[in-house]
Chain A
């Protein structure tokens, strides 16, 4: 149980284009989903917290107009990187928190490797 999927797993795009990443909780409902980015050999950096049906809360320094987050249902959140540039190349990981069971436990997706040329 508590499986989170991400799509796509890898994406290569040209500078200036937009990329959408999907995060799905497959066997549970997630009222809250989180988006992280991770640079090589570094830890996870929280970008934003997404609650179903409401606007995402962004961490300081994260541009909300560049990283658009939509949490339309209890099982799906999307992150759109708009007008991507090479410095946006990173490993993007989502996580979902179960609405029941043990609180504060997040289950992570497998990540999406974004490369902007």
Chain B
């Protein structure tokens, strides 16, 4: 099993602040996905990154895949209460289709 370490595990910030969530591994992934999950619901795919060094933007969210394809980061600018949720990174190895999930980052944005 290829382990993905997410940090921080918990984050509580005020509306308008910026934040970065990290996803690190010692293994190389063919692709990496970021999901957001709200309580009682399934994860919703935010983005898939495939190429080392790739940067993708989704409104106020910026995703980066490390050059070596071992790590990724999610940066949120001017966080809003609607951003509250559990953020999960998941990596796919070259050897199979099963995703390896990080433990998640629980984000709370207060007004």
Q: Which of A102, A104, A108 contacts B43 (CB 8 A)?
A: A108
Given contacts A105-B48, A108-B42, contact A43 B101 (CB under 8 A): yes
Cβ-defined contact, B88 with A104, below 8 A: no
CB closest residue in chain B, given A93: B42
User: CA–CA, A34 to B97, complex, Å?
Assistant: 10
Query: Interface readout for A89-101 with B: 1 if CB under 8 Å, 0 if not?
Result: 0010101010000
B interface bracket (residues with beta carbon within 8 Å of A)? 20 to 34
Residues of B within 8 A of A34 (CB): 98-99
Pick 25 A–B contacts, CB within 8 A, sort by A. A34-B98, A42-B103, A42-B104, A43-B88, A43-B101, A43-B102, A49-B97, A49-B98, A91-B40, A93-B42, A93-B43, A102-B31, A102-B48, A103-B92, A103-B97, A104-B30, A104-B48, A104-B97, A105-B31, A105-B45, A106-B90, A108-B42, A108-B43, A109-B42, A110-B41
Cβ-defined contact, B40 with A104, below 8 A: no
Cβ-defined contact, B42 with A104, below 8 A: no
Cβ-defined contact, A111 with B101, below 8 A: no
Residue B35 lies at the interface, judged by CB distance under 8 Å to chain A = yes
Residue B33 lies at the interface, judged by CB distance under 8 Å to chain A = yes
Cβ-defined contact, B103 with A43, below 8 A: yes
Among residues 24 to 83 in chain B, which have CB atoms less than 8 Å away from a CB atom of chain A? 30-31, 33, 35, 40-45, 48, 50
A residues contacting B by CB (< 8 A) are: 4, 6, 32, 34, 41-44, 46, 49, 91, 93, 95, 97, 102-111, 113
CB closest residue in chain B, given A110: B42
Where chain A touches its partner, the secondary structure class is: strand
Residues of B within 8 A of A103 (CB): 31, 92, 97
Expressed in whole angstroms, the minimum distance between the Cβ of B74 and any Cβ of chain A is 15
User: CA–CA, A99 to B6, complex, Å?
Assistant: 29
Cβ-defined contact, B99 with A43, below 8 A: no
Cβ-defined contact, A111 with B97, below 8 A: no
Cβ-defined contact, B31 with A43, below 8 A: no
Given contacts A41-B106, A43-B88, A43-B104, contact A106 B99 (CB under 8 A): yes
